[in-house]
Amino acid sequence: KTEHPQATKKSSNNMSANSHLIVSDKMMAEEKKREIVKNVMMETAFFLKHVASFLDAQSLCQCLSVCKNWATQNIFQNNETWLDLCVKRFGASSVRKWEVDEDEEDEANKIKTSPNMDLYCRMAEQNVKPYCSLEGSITLGGSTLDGLVSGWVTMVERSNGETSRSVMFSEVHNGESKTYYGPIPVVELRILLQNTGFSNGVVFLPDQHFSVDASTRRKGEKMLEVSGDDRFQRRVLHVERRNKNDHSPQRKAFGREMCFLRLFETAVLSVHIHARGCNTTSKFCNRAKKIQILVSIDGTTRPLVVPFHNIIGHR
């Protein structure tokens, strides 16, 4: 059956009108979308700068590689943001000293996009130690574990340079426990630990027995920690918290831990070592080679080995 020409024309006009309405709705939707994106882009710099203030150094560098727009804007390489990171990790006094040295040695800092970003990278490369008032007078060495945790070891020197100390011993004789005091060479080490790069949680320091490696080419030797006398028991002297009101870790550690550290937090440990055969601190410095510190990062216990220098270096 053949349709009437007039009905066919009317149907075609209705389809054309509907098509125009659909196209018009799509164009309006696209226009609204472009307007929203434009408004977001105008406020992106403000939001990104706010986000950047919560990021660590590694995350800031990764953001610079996202796109050209982020890399060219003064957001993730902002001078103030990187200066804040420098102060949090290395301390204001160390940063001021390095800034003076940089100004004297490198005039190119004046034309760099972010001098403080470059300053942070230089100080991190040298593993600069943050200021600590509890460290010893003799610096033995420092090291880092993949940039996540750093440790520095110093020794407390007595005025006469000798190591002889009176230590309490216990022994069982005829079924009875007796205690007595005897002189042995003892040195006190101050271990400064800092979470320098693990921002996805906390670094735990499990309770452990410390020993100093004094091995030679001919034989292995270890100087063990003093035990049996509570006066020489290892302990945490101080923990520097970034958030003074937060004292609980994000997750529990496995076993017993001495302390935990969030990003850029530091802890100072006191450890007394039985320095066999070392009646002076200089002999201990010549014989001691390294110390191993166990740290727990993301559920995995790893050793942080701090080698000692043979030459005595006063702070």
161 has a pLDDT exceeding 90 = no
76 has a pLDDT exceeding 70 = yes
> What pTM, to 2 d.p., does this model score?
0.79
With pLDDT > 70 as the criterion, what percentage of the chain qualifies?
80
Q: How many residues appear in the chain?
A: 315
- Higher pLDDT: 8 or 185? It is 185
313 has a pLDDT exceeding 50 = no
281 has a pLDDT exceeding 90 = yes
> Which DSSP helix (H) or strand (E) runs through 4?
none
- 97 vs 85: CA distance, rounded Å: 16
290 has a pLDDT exceeding 60 = yes
User: Mean pLDDT in the chain?
Assistant: 83
CB-based burial, 257-270: b 16+ in 10 Å, e otherwise: bbbbbbbbbbbbbb
204 has a pLDDT exceeding 60 = yes
- Residue for token pair 């196209």: 23
Residues 90-146 have pLDDT tens digits of 999 899 988 876 655 555 545 556 789 999 999 999 999 999 999 999 999 999 999
The model's confidence at residue 66, banded by pLDDT at 50, 70 and 90, is: confident
Q: What is the pLDDT of residue 46?
A: 75
R_g of the chain computed on alpha carbons: 32
Q: Using alpha carbons, select from 76, 88, 154 the residue that is nearest to residue 123.
A: 88
The answer to whether residues 167 and 226 touch, using CB atoms and an 8 Å cutoff, is: yes
Lowest model confidence (mean pLDDT) among 17-26, 164-173, 298-307: 17-26
Lowest model confidence (mean pLDDT) among 40-44, 71-75, 165-169, 241-245: 40-44
Q: What is the pLDDT of residue 6?
A: 53
- Report the sign of the C-alpha dihedral through residues 104, 109, 110, 111, in that order: positive
The model's confidence at residue 238, banded by pLDDT at 50, 70 and 90, is: very high
7 has a pLDDT exceeding 60 = no
Beta pairing, strands 257-261 & 266-274: unpaired
Residues 170-188 have pLDDT tens digits of 888 777 888 889 999 999 9
The model's confidence at residue 253, banded by pLDDT at 50, 70 and 90, is: very low
